[in-house]
Structure 1
């Protein structure tokens, strides 16, 4: 590599590292800023009652928001926007990161996917030399593929949520949510996937941009050497550690039960039913907690944390925000149930030991419920 190439690589590496550090701290500050007010409002001090009421007014939605409160609100069905954004954004991150990992960060004894990688790495193309030089250690390459794995899990989550929005939920036309809660949801589904791949996301996007530029120059010559190798994309994932697969198992546990709870809620209102009566939901984790879909969401993000290896403080802060936010909402929902129903089961709480419960199908046949409350 000539002097110009060396200087370009050094400058590019410095710029990317500076931007990456800024991005990581921006995400961390944002998660802390979102979590602290919730923690403060949860403190049992009378002096905080006004602040707590203000925060609750932002957090209320669906059945716990008075139907007459339309000021600064949007339809509850706008949850669809969250999941459309989440699917598009997570898919983009996953595509770029996975392609980058396949081309630049091979695991084990695998070599770069291009047959003539050696010529590129000795000066034939700065695209590979600049990017691969930053991921020379086995640990760095492993972390790149770990980011791919986390994004795959997130993709499974947001795709299911989008499916549920179209095929499971039946939002009431009168259900509303505060505009602040809506904007918080937009931010969350932008920042959460990004928090899972900060280790290499900038390099992945830069690499994708370089590949597009190189394609424009080399055209058909580039196409002829880039055949799709499905096993090459999948094999490194099978080489990840026990921590990643343990996290995936926890994620799948929460993922399945959240789907069951959403199926119960969604099936308890007939399509087109706009009545405002409520009954107590039963089935699955509804037998032990008032908002089991919230509990399942916490487990999902706990699984992501375990799969990450627990070494990224940004993901810890992401989980902290999810737990604080959903616990705060679950407490209000639980109080709403107690006020609404005199015969509400008092053994239900915000958390508890999970036990075997009836299936989603059994609950769906016997109970009606007329609103949906989800993250």
Structure 2
């Protein structure tokens, strides 16, 4: 039977990858409709093709909505897994068990329960921080995004949550929590990667906001500027690098090949790297003195 979650990831990742490859290398070959669907915010501000779907464009600040949704979703499943850890059996409500059965056929446990729970708690912390940043840190311009991006946010976090569960609540799963499992070498290394990425993404978000404030913290502009300071001295988009590192760290913690999680990781790499390359080109074309030594997303390499 087809795993619907794998179908979801694949149907999003590969069309996205192909479209972004054309946007980066052969933008003249991309139709106006696709350009207007894929480019948003500053990337669409001076692109002549990007206005086709303006009638269904929505404020970019609505990013906040799907982080609020993710907070509810991840908190719910975190509570369920914590209860499972304390009671020793998977106490999953029938309605949620049905959603697992529909999205993830023939589930199998791939990692110790303690490790899966740790990944669940880390991703919950991640969405809480992103929600907080969107609500209280970020300073948004009047930039727009299209309904496609809005929907993708909900799809992504739903997919990430159920991808974690695909390795946790299998038909052969054990909910025995062994604290010693958290001291495995890969868990410690992955957690360090996650923590560094967590800090980098928050630092970058604060810097973006401060670019639009004066010394007193008052918002004085909504214009895009050439970013400076911190990791901006090395790459144009530290936040995209951080997002990739967040999920790389989680992958190291899990340390088990699972096709569903692999698809989720591939989606993250494709989306974040593509947006980083497009942003890098935008900075280069809009700021004549933009540092030539700065790369798009990976210091000194890409």
Q: TM-score, normalised by structure 1?
A: 0.65
Q: 1:301 aligns with which of 247, 262, 275?
A: 247
Q: Tell me the residue number matched to 2:185.
A: 242
From 68, 75, 84, the counterpart of 1:91? 75
Find the residue that maps to 1:345 and give its secondary structure.
coil
2:228 maps to 1:262: no
Q: Is the 8 A contact 2:60 2:144 kept in 1?
A: yes
Report how many aligned residue pairs link the two structures.
Answer: 270
Match of 1:180 in 2: 148
Correspondence for 2:281:
335
Which position in structure 2 is the counterpart of 1:285? 231
* Structure 1 residues 140 and 65: CA distance shift in structure 2, 3 A: closer
- Cα deviation, residue 146, structure 1: 2.1
The separation in 1 between residues aligned to 2:179 and 2:44, in whole angstroms, is 44
SS of the equivalent of 2:145 reads: strand
Equivalent in the alignment of 1:101: 85
Change (3 A) 1:85 1:306: same
Inter-CA distance 351–276: structure 2 relative to 1 (3 Å threshold): closer
Give the whole-Å Cα distance in 1 for the aligned partners of 2:62 and 2:170.
30
- 2:110, 2:167 within 8 Å by CA — same for their partners in 1? no
> 1:66 and 1:27, CA in 2 relative to 1: closer, same or farther beyond 3 A?
same
Shift of 1:351: 3.2
Q: State whether structure 2 residue 145 is matched by structure 1 residue 161.
A: no
Shift of 1:48: 8.3
Given that residues 71 and 127 in structure 2 are in contact (C-alpha distance below 8 angstroms), is that contact kept between their aligned partners in structure 1? Answer: yes
CA contact (8 A) 2:212 2:222 kept: no
- 3-state SS, counterpart of residue 257 of structure 2: coil
- Please state how far the C-alpha of 1:47 moved relative to its aligned partner: 9.8
Report the Cα distance in structure 1 between the residues aligned to 2:143 and 2:220, rounded to whole angstroms: 10
For the residues of structure 2 that align with 1:48 and 1:196, how far apart are their CA atoms? 39
Stretches of 4+ aligned residues off by more than 6 angstroms: none
Query: Scaled by the length of structure 2, what TM-score is found?
Result: 0.80
In structure 2, C-alpha distance between the alignment counterparts of 1:269 and 1:192, rounded to whole Å:
32
| Contact 1:93/1:201 (<8 A) preserved | no
1:259, distance to aligned residue in structure 2 (A): 0.8
Mapped to 2, the partners of 1:272 and 1:59 lie a distance apart of 32
Listed one character per residue, the Cα deviations across residues 287-310 of structure 1 (whole Å, up to 9, x for unaligned) are 111111001100001111111113
CA root-mean-square deviation: 3.0
User: Are 1:27 and 2:5 matched, yes or no?
Assistant: yes
Confirm or deny that 1:49 pairs with 2:29: yes
| 1:274 to 1:79, Cα distance in 2 relative to 1, 3 A | farther
Distance change (3 Å), C-alpha of 1:338 and 1:255: same
| Deviation sequence 1:190-234 (CA, Å, 0-9, x none) | 11122112134477xxx9xxxxxxxxxxxxxxxxxxxxxxxxx9x
C-alpha contact (below 8 Å) 1:38/1:328 kept by paired residues: no
| SS, match of residue 74 in structure 1 | strand
Stretches of structure 1 that go unaligned for 5 or more consecutive residues are 1-20, 107-138, 208-232, 355-375
Change (3 A) 1:263 1:246: same
Alpha-carbon distance in structure 2 between the residues aligned to 1:258 and 1:343: 25
Residues 1:36 and 2:14 aligned together: yes
1-structure distance, mates of 2:71, 2:57? 24
Partner of 1:185, secondary structure, is: helix
Alpha-carbon distance between aligned partners in 1 of 2:186 and 2:137, rounded to the nearest angstrom? 33
Q: Distance in 2 between matches of 1:32 and 1:328?
A: 17
- C-alpha contact (below 8 Å) 2:160/2:264 kept by paired residues: yes
Quote the offset at 1:143 in angstroms. Answer: 2.5
Please say if residues 286 and 292 of structure 1, whose CA atoms lie closer than 8 Å, have aligned partners that are also in contact. yes
Name the structure 1 match of 2:259.
313
Unaligned runs of 5+ in 2: 91-107
Q: Closer, same or farther in 2 for the Cα pair 1:242/1:313, shift >3 Å? A: same
Per-residue CA deviations over 1:304-350 (Å, capped at 9, x if unaligned) read: 11111132221111110011011111111111111111101111122
